[in-house]
Structure 1
């Protein structure tokens, strides 16, 4: 694995830079912020992540190790590839991404071109517990969030899984009636899991009712 590159900057474009490593030019994709600090003819160091595909090897470069760590974690989200992960870092600083993921703030991710409510909801759901703000104690839970903040995020996550917005909203309300402590905490991932469990139990109850009538 190529962990970092250090060499002379040979070329800088809108999306890539070429680093001269003793006569070998390595092309690296990076955010506009990272590229803006590179000057042709000067030495630079970039932390890198190598993406291996069947038909290509692509390097992505970062100003620091924290950016690279957030990039790698974003890649674990279903449907998020390296270009989209890089776009997230182009819009948000790594710490802002950590805070949004930890607090269930899906709306922040919709500010990234190419990310709609469904993908944003999936990002929040799948990053729960994987990214936490620096200085946050292990196991700490986010601050209490109002329903107007968390409910649209849970609805977005459920619609991405195939439910209609109406059915999702109704199921959330019924599930939270059984688990008000989760609603009070306003943490998206546990609320979504509880709603899905409630739906499964409700489906089982409906099946039992049909069976008893037969």
Structure 2
């Protein structure tokens, strides 16, 4: 298994590049973004994934290990081959893929050439729980935040309203947030929801 290449960029094409690695010309297929980061004659480090078929061995190159991880996760989905997985990364960043998978946003995958509505829904279903956002919106909460959010949702609040209330309450009382005391933070959040009145206290329907 070849996990990365380090060498001089010999050439860059529309869909692939060739790296001179100690005198060996190694061709890698890559997204337009990855290819755009390579400069002929300059040194480059490229993370790789090798796909072995009966009649071929193909290297796919990536700017980061995160891109490769998302690529390999997509390959585990029925009907998604390396070309389609690469197309997803040509349209979306790895983090955007993670967020779409977590949010069940099949429309995001429908934007990728070659993926129709049914295929997009299948991808979302099969990615559930396999790709989690690492940062920004949709990223996992800190341990105590997750516990408070789960408790709020158990009381019937929607995830959106509960999350917004937790953020607002802890910003107003950072000293309580710093303790990580789930009980105190839960009380604070419930109080915040009560103060906001009807706008933020609409509970999610259950059933």
Runs of 4+ in structure 1 off by over 4 angstroms are 138-141
Superposed counterparts of 1:48-197, under 5 Å: 48-135=48-135, 136-137=139-140, 144=159, 181=206
Q: Structure 2 unaligned runs (5+)?
A: 151-157, 161-204
* TM-score computed with the length of structure 2 as normaliser: 0.67
Deviations 1:114-137 (A, max 9, x none): 000010000000000000101533
Superposed counterparts of 1:6-85, under 5 Å: 6-85=6-85
Q: Distance in 1 between matches of 2:42 and 2:107?
A: 39
Q: Distance in 2 between matches of 1:181 and 1:46?
A: 49
Give 3-state SS (helix, strand or coil) of 1:130's partner.
coil
Q: Note the aligned Cα RMSD (angstroms).
A: 2.0
* TM-score computed with the length of structure 1 as normaliser: 0.65
Q: In the alignment, is the contact (CA less than 8 A) between 2:100 and 2:108 conserved in 1?
A: yes
Q: Structure 1 unaligned runs (5+)?
A: 146-179, 183-214
Q: Following TM superposition, by how much is the alpha carbon of 1:27 offset from its aligned partner in structure 2, in angstroms?
A: 0.4
Q: Distance in 2 between matches of 1:51 and 1:62?
A: 14
Task: Indicate the residue corresponding to 1:173 in structure 2.
Answer: none
Q: Following TM superposition, by how much is the alpha carbon of 1:23 offset from its aligned partner in structure 2, in angstroms?
A: 1.1
Q: Distance in 1 between matches of 2:36 and 2:68?
A: 17
